[in-house]
Amino acid sequence: MASAAASRIKAGIVGGTGYTGVELLRLLSQHPQVELTAITSRKEDGMPVADMYPNLRGRVDLCFQTPDKAALEDCDVVFFATPHGVAMSQAKTLLDKGVRIIDLAADFRLQDTQMFERWYKMPHSCPDILAESAYGLVELNRSRIAGAKVVGNPGCYPTTVLLGLAPLLEGGRKLVDTSHIIADCKSGVSGAGRKAEVSTLFSEASDNFKAYGVAGHRHHPEISEHLNALAGGPVGLTFVPHLVPMIRGMFSTLYARILPEAMDTDFQALFEQRYADEAFVDVMPAGSLPETRSVRAANQLRIAVHRPGNGDQLVILVIQDNLVKGASGQAVQNMNLMFGLPESTGLTHVAILP
């Protein structure tokens, strides 16, 4: 296994034609400790990556290959930017060759296999590997990720909700009413992936704003599983996602009722102290109103804490780029931790404006 001190990390990507795949390519092609080794696509076998994504011209010289041609077993780490079910079908073969795995789909996010099978409509094919995997939200699970061979990268919505609520719930804190928390969340269209679908056509998604998954969304059980673990008991969550007419960006507004015994708590200070040493979580000054454009193309999550009228309602505003901190950037952050590198290596890009 390569180490950061000995040599560059050989990285492969399974499923490199989608938005998270190209975002991984963008980040890894600039990473000082990574050598891109393989990129797979069954449909685009033989096509130069730069022909599909011209922004990578002069940066990535690889061609897409079918999985059976790609030298995945020669890699130190393989990222799966694929539909659910692909990573778990290949996990054992790669692990037997000493390859570490970071899955950007849901195969290793939920420890409850029955819940996984209910929401993803497929059996879990390697529950033994799942049991040894780590949930890849670094700010909550750093020590486990560092020693893991398999990491399940969190979903984009769960990243905002979990980091937005963690300071209120960790260690069984009795600060808010955990029986009724609301997560009102909005995502750009890229969160739906690159597949052709009527609902994401320009003329359908532009100049429009809609809710979806109100009756149930597959990120809900993922969020609930980890909120329950944080709080040390059941957390009642109402989660409503929305599609907004922009390409990148995610904005989650979280509502929690302050308990009578916690009315004197300085919540701004609580959040600032919790994330003081986190490179990619920015707790903004009191009264701030974050904008999604301030994190566009950056691995940054920003939080603003509000308490209207100094009453008993807490409002937490959380923003991120759904393709970076919400997906590929977080995956690279996990890789850095797994290979003993500083977490910010290759991830210090400043957000782009306008």
Q: Answer whether 100's CB lies under 8 Å from 124's CB.
A: no
The verdict on whether 156 is a catalytic residue reads: yes
Q: Which ranges of the chain does DSSP label H, i.e. alpha helix? A: 19-28, 49-52, 86-96, 113-120, 127-132, 138-146, 156-169, 202-205, 219-231, 267-274, 329-338
- In sequence order, what are the beta bridge partners of 243? 187, 210
Q: Coil, helix or strand for 142?
A: helix
Decide: 211 and 242 in contact? Cβ < 8 Å.
yes
Cβ-count burial of 147 within 10 angstroms (0-12 exposed, 13-18 middle, 19+ buried)? exposed
Instruction: Choose among 32, 203, 221, 7: nearest CA to 111.
Output: 221
CA angle 228, 126, 100 (to 5 degrees): 90
User: Which among 63, 75, 156, 185 is annotated as catalytic?
Assistant: 156
**Backbone torsion region of residue 187, taken as left when φ is above 0, otherwise alpha when ψ lies between -120 and 50, otherwise beta:** beta
Map residue 220 onto helix, strand or coil. helix
CA separation for the pair 172, 188 (Å, rounded): 33
Distance, C-alpha 141 to centroid of its chain: 13
For residue 261, count other CB atoms closer than 10 A to its CB: 9
DSSP string computed for 12-69: EEESTTSHHHHHHHHHHTT-TTEEEEEEE-STTTT-BHHHH-GGGTTT---B-B-TTT
Please give the backbone phi and psi of residue 241, each rounded to the nearest 5 degrees, phi first: -90, 155
Q: Which residues are catalytic?
A: 156
